[in-house]
Amino acid sequence: MGSYVGVFGMGVMGQSLALNIANHGYAVSVYNRHDEATKDFMAGRVRTDQQRQLVTPTYDLEGFVQSLDRPRKVILMVKAGPVVDAVTDSLLPYLEKGDIVIDAGNTFYQDTERRMEAYAQKGINFFGMGVSGGEKGALEGPSIMPSGDRALYDNYLGKLLTDISAHTADGAPCCDYIGKGGSGHYVKMVHNGIEYGDIQIIDEAYFIMKNLLKMSNAQMADVFETWNKGRLDSFLIDITYKILREKDDLTEDDLIDHILDESGQKGTGMWTAQEGLEMHVAIPTMAEAVFARNLSAVKGERVAASLVFADKPVVSIEDRDAFLVDLEQAVYASKIMSYAQGFQLLDKASRQHDWGLKLGDIALLWREGCIIRAKFLGRIKSAYDEGDVVNLMMTDEFRDEIKAAVPGWRRVVVKALEGGVYAPTLANSLMYFDGYTSEKLAANMCQAQRDWFGAHTYHRDDRPHEESFHHQWEQF
Ligand code: 6PG
């Protein structure tokens, strides 16, 4: 008997996933292009008797593939991009018809679909698999979003992947078959777009507390900790208050005050924003979160501009406690808007690609294990259990809470605007809410303008929508 599965790539994530697999009683072979990483892994992290028995190190590709039970199942834990093609190609001489290669990276879904087609011609079954949860998740149970051939998933992958995934308190696995094609990576991409939104919303709350309320790190930590005991209970709020309490190891100060305000990104948030544009779905909260990172990255330009436009208005807030209540409302309502947008994008993509995504179940997959894990995801699942959802803000689950949040949310955004404090996701989530809940918008004027300068035609409110009209505007 060989190993049930192979893990290709012994970075920290690959190592952690291999241990997770062994900890669940599956024999796993591991391989890395450079032997050192495999040797270090075996010497440093493979510790228990069960792990030593079940993890097989291999040092050449042929040996790696031959150590696996048929059909071979190889999980690629490598950087997304051309490396995935290079690695899969290097495995081809040793793989046989019917073997399964699973890309567990943050790959763009169209690349996954291209690979599925290309490798199918060579008899290899290619799967895309979104995995979230970082190193700890990979070791202790990530959220897993696999897509590809349903029958192969049921026969060879489903049990393994659900076993190693995170589980909710009532025992539901945070892994389920997502659909065909690149749907798994698509869902992971939207997860990351939402992750960007969640992060930016929280960061704006921090920034408002710091700049408008002039609160200390310790005071802000207490606020986030309190929020984390309520409806905002989530991994990202949890780490935020802990970050605020972290001491620097180079100075006597709090670490957060020495971390440069320039954030990086690897592209998944940007892809989500691009998809929103491609699919004609309004997802301003997530898009603004990407723009916020872009703006943060031009630190030098910002410093120069801050000297030219030096004076930020001073805003006074009389009742700090009341404002903090408003701020929690603003954060919560913006979060609902962000998820409402993300799920609308998933819904449209699902219909367009015929993926049949089960949106409530996807919310449950994110309930534990992943970066956006939160109590709130259980509420989204309940909203989908109520019946058809057009927009989460309209569901029984969220409607009344949003109504209650709106006045405080507006007060927060107004204060941020008055004080010149950058809060794009709180503000644009509110703009989204105001746009989505407006029976009338200014688009009648837009249609008239387009018809004037380009004869693009317009629809009328007193004629069937199928009919288009063109008006003879003033002649040039
Ligand atoms: C996850 C994360 C993970 C990674 C992000 C970070 O779900 O485990 O999303 O995939 O942390 O890709 O992305 P940025 O570097 O773009 O913030």
Strand, coil or helix: what is 119?
A: helix
Cα gap 345→362, rounded to integer Å: 13
Burial of 280 (0-12, 13-18, 19+ CB in 10 A): exposed
Ligand 1 proximity of 369 Cβ (cutoff 6 Å): no
Sequence-separated (6 or more) residues with CB below 8 Å from residue 476: none
Q: What separation in Å is there between the alpha carbon of 106 and the centre of ligand 1?
A: 8
Q: Which residue has the tokens 């409607």?
A: 399
Whether the ω angle into residue 142 lies within 30 degrees of 0, i.e. cis, is: no
Contact 32, 40 (CB under 8 A): no
Report DSSP letters for 333-390, one per residue.
HHHHHHHHHHHHHHHHHHHHHT----HHHHHHHTSSSSTT-BTHHHHHHHHHHHS--S
Report DSSP letters for 214-252, one per residue.
---HHHHHHHHHHHTTTTT-BHHHHHHHHHHTPBPSSSS
188 is known as an active-site residue: yes
Choose one of 371, 373, 377 to mutate for the ligand 1 pocket test, by most ligand atoms within 8 angstroms of C-beta.
371
Contact 366, 448 (CB under 8 A): no
For residue 390, the tally of other CB atoms under 10 A from its CB is: 10
Ligand 1 proximity of 370 Cβ (cutoff 6 Å): yes
Q: Which ligand 1 atom is nearest residue 195's CA?
A: 9
Q: Which of 195, 275, 288, 368 is catalytic?
A: 195
Q: Compute φ and ψ for 305, nearest 5 degrees.
A: -65, -35
Element (H, E) at 114: helix 109-120
Phi-psi sector, 421: left (phi>0), alpha (psi -120 to 50), beta: beta
Ligand 1 proximity of 393 Cβ (cutoff 6 Å): no
Ligand 1 proximity of 296 Cβ (cutoff 6 Å): no
Per-residue pLDDT in tens (0 to 9) along the chain, 476 residues: 899 999 999 999 999 999 999 999 999 999 999 999 999 999 999 999 999 999 999 999 999 999 999 999 999 999 999 999 999 999 999 999 999 999 999 999 999 999 999 999 999 999 999 999 999 999 999 999 999 999 999 999 999 999 999 999 999 999 999 999 999 999 999 999 999 999 999 999 999 999 999 999 999 999 999 999 999 999 999 999 999 999 999 999 999 999 999 999 999 999 999 999 999 999 999 999 999 999 999 999 999 999 999 988 999 999 999 999 999 999 999 999 999 999 999 999 999 999 999 999 999 999 999 999 999 999 999 999 999 999 999 999 999 999 999 999 999 999 999 999 999 999 999 999 999 999 999 999 999 999 999 999 999 999 999 999 999 998 76
Q: Which residue has the tokens 């004076």?
A: 311
Determine the distance from the C-alpha atom of residue 220 to the mean position of all C-alpha atoms in its chain, rounded to a whole number: 25
